[in-house]
Amino acid sequence: MNIEEEILAATEDFAKKHIAPFEKEIEREGKLVEEKFRELGKHGFIAIPFPEKYGGLGESFEFYAKVAEKIAFESGTLAAVLGAHSLSVFSILLGGTEQQKEKYLPKMIRGELMGSFALTEQNAGSNPADIETRAVKDGDFYVLDGTKVFTTNAGLSDIYVVMAKTDPARGARGISAFIVEKTDEGFSVGRQEDKMAFPGLPNASLFLNNVRIPKERLLGRENSGFIIAMKTLDLGRITASAGATGLARRALYEAVKYAKRREQFGKPIASFEMIQSYIAEMGAKIEASKLLLLKAARLSNEKSRDLPKFAAIAKYFSAKAAADVARKAVQIFGGYGFIEDYPVARLYKGAKMYEIIEGTSEIQKLIIANSIIKEIE
Ligand SMILES: Cc1cc2nc3c(=O)[nH]c(=O)nc-3n(C[C@H](O)[C@H](O)[C@H](O)COP(=O)(O)OP(=O)(O)OC[C@H]3O[C@@H](n4cnc5c(N)ncnc54)[C@H](O)[C@@H]3O)c2cc1C
């Protein structure tokens, strides 16, 4: 076995022994999330795509995508926690100074520090150029004021990468990224959101009330925050696509197991052609999602100019596929699919998240269409 095969086998083994037995606690009761995140870090799963210099394994992004997909098969909650944490790590890696990288990355890569990425605000979701959070320079400090919404991992995170306007007149070009620490005075987290799925996934608003942070916590250069955020989201869309693909694969797995067991008209329902047609469509969409996911991940390794387009395609396609696959899984379960005691109702609701996070499906389509229109003269 080469290192990749070894780690993929270790991921499956870890997921079977340390995640699957706790499905009820993690997915339904929202317990153990922090503990399991720390375990993922301790076992080196977070470290895969990050440079060895900061304690990473220096492996490819394709490999990371495969691992994230396997984690998502067992736990959508942990995959999303890992995805949100990765966003904060990517931001520091892409935009941070050497000092910032040395200070934060090793601990974040080992899972000793958890991170969040805070861009969205009440009046700025699909159009983040409109954020209103302000950062005003005051000598050797910046003073941050504003509110972020929907921040994943909020409350559990130690580090928050926060986007704020340093030059409001310049729109997107006047945004900077900052590292806010959970103990900073004036920083607080709102109540946890009551979501339609993934009850254990931490998600809340952040309140920044006169938060005074040293200028060394400006990520990279002033007014470079929007570029950092967009580059971060290109990578985040790959992990979101991995999450959606893992969820879809789980829905297919549950549906096929059930279809082989459940008998009607004296036969397993898996023998009916209409059920087989669903299974074929589900399987084909999952395989297509996997290929697009791996293509986007490969382009990110190659630092290709095509990454934004293919990250958007992978995220758009796999989110749509997951929603469709999970819906068909519920159909295959019949009435039992509608009952929460069975696994597919949870997957059906969870799949919806992927059409919204890291840019909605409509925004992915805008990115894809703009790229294609530019390419064809
Ligand atoms: C579970 C969850 C976790 C999240 N985690 C994070 C996080 O960690 N950090 C973070 O910063 N944010 C996070 N978000 C926020 C998420 O990124 C936003 O919800 C998303 O980008 C959409 O923004 P919005 O909700 O303001 O919707 P809006 O932007 O108001 O969009 C509403 C609708 O209008 C459509 N629309 C908007 N503009 C256009 C257009 N130009 N053309 C066509 N249609 C358009 C949208 O596609 C959508 O259907 C999270 C959200 C959820 C639900």
367 Cα: distance to centroid of ligand 1 (angstroms) = 15
- Residue 360 CA: nearest ligand 1 atom is 47
Measured from the CB, is residue 126 less than 6 Å from ligand 1? yes
Quote the pLDDT of residue 31: 85
Task: Provide the pLDDT for residue 18.
Answer: 93
Comparing CA positions, the residue from 67, 90, 88, 89 lying closest to residue 79 is 67
CB 225 within 8 Å of CB 161? no
Nearest CA to ligand 1 atom 7: 151
Helices (H), 262-272: none
Pick the CATH number of 226-375 from 1.20.140.10, 1.10.287.1080, 2.40.50.100, 3.30.1600.10: 1.20.140.10
pLDDT for residue 355: 98
Distance from residue 311's CA to the centre of ligand 1 (Å): 17
Conformation bin of residue 275: beta by default, left when phi > 0, alpha when psi is -120 to 50: alpha
Burial 213-240 (b: 16+ CB within 10 A, else e): beeebbbbebbbbbbbbbbbbbbbbbbb
SS3 call for 374? helix
Do residues 274 and 209 touch, judged by C-beta distance below 8 A?
no
CA distances from 329 to 195, 199, 247, 283, 348 (A): 22, 21, 11, 11, 8
H or E element in which residue 150 lies: strand 141-152
163 CB near ligand 1 (under 6 Å): no
Ligand 1 pocket residue status of 239, Cβ below 6 Å:
no
**Cα(232)–Cα(119) distance, integer angstroms:** 11
Residue holding tokens 């979501």? Answer: 195
Topology match between the domains 115-223 and 226-375: no
H or E, element range at 151: strand 141-152
Residue 101's nearest CA partner among 113, 91, 111, 110 is 91
Q: Cβ(43)–Cβ(13) under 8 Å?
A: no
Give the fold, CATH level 3, of 3-109: Butyryl-Coa Dehydrogenase, subunit A; domain 1 (1.10.540)
Residue range 115-223 forms a domain whose CATH class is mainly beta
DSSP helix/strand/coil, 176 = strand
CA 6–ligand 1 middle distance (angstroms):
38
Q: What is the pLDDT along the chain (377 residues), one digit of tens a residue?
A: 787 888 889 889 999 999 999 988 998 887 899 999 999 999 999 999 999 999 999 999 999 999 999 999 999 999 999 999 999 999 999 999 999 999 999 999 999 999 999 999 999 999 999 999 999 999 999 999 999 999 999 999 999 999 999 999 999 999 999 999 999 999 999 999 999 999 999 999 999 999 999 999 999 899 999 999 999 999 999 999 999 999 999 999 999 999 999 999 999 999 999 999 999 999 999 999 999 999 999 999 999 999 999 999 999 999 999 999 999 999 999 999 999 999 999 999 999 999 999 999 999 999 999 999 999 99
Pick from 44, 51, 40: nearest CA to 3:
44
Amino acid of residue 74:
E
Helices assigned H by DSSP within the chain: 3-14, 23, 33-42, 61-74, 76-95, 98-109, 225-261, 273-301, 307-333, 343-353, 361-375
Catalytic positions, please?
358
Substitution site in 87, 120, 205, 235 for ligand 1 pocket (most atoms within 8 Å of beta carbon): 120
Task: Tell me what pLDDT residue 29 has.
Answer: 83
98 dihedral zone (left: phi>0; alpha: psi -120 to 50; beta): alpha
Ligand 1 atom nearest residue 148's Cα: 11
Whether 367 lines ligand 1, by a CB cut-off of 6 Å, is: no
- On the 0-12 / 13-18 / 19+ scale of CB atoms within 10 A, 1 is exposed
Atom 45 in ligand 1: residue holding the nearest Cα: 362
Find tokens 């083994």 and name the residue: 13
Q: Where are the domains of the chain?
A: 3-109, 115-223, 226-375
Whether 124 lines ligand 1, by a CB cut-off of 6 Å, is no
* 316 pocket-lining for ligand 1 (C-beta < 6 Å): no
Q: Which atom belonging to ligand 1 lies closest to the Cα atom of 124?
A: 26
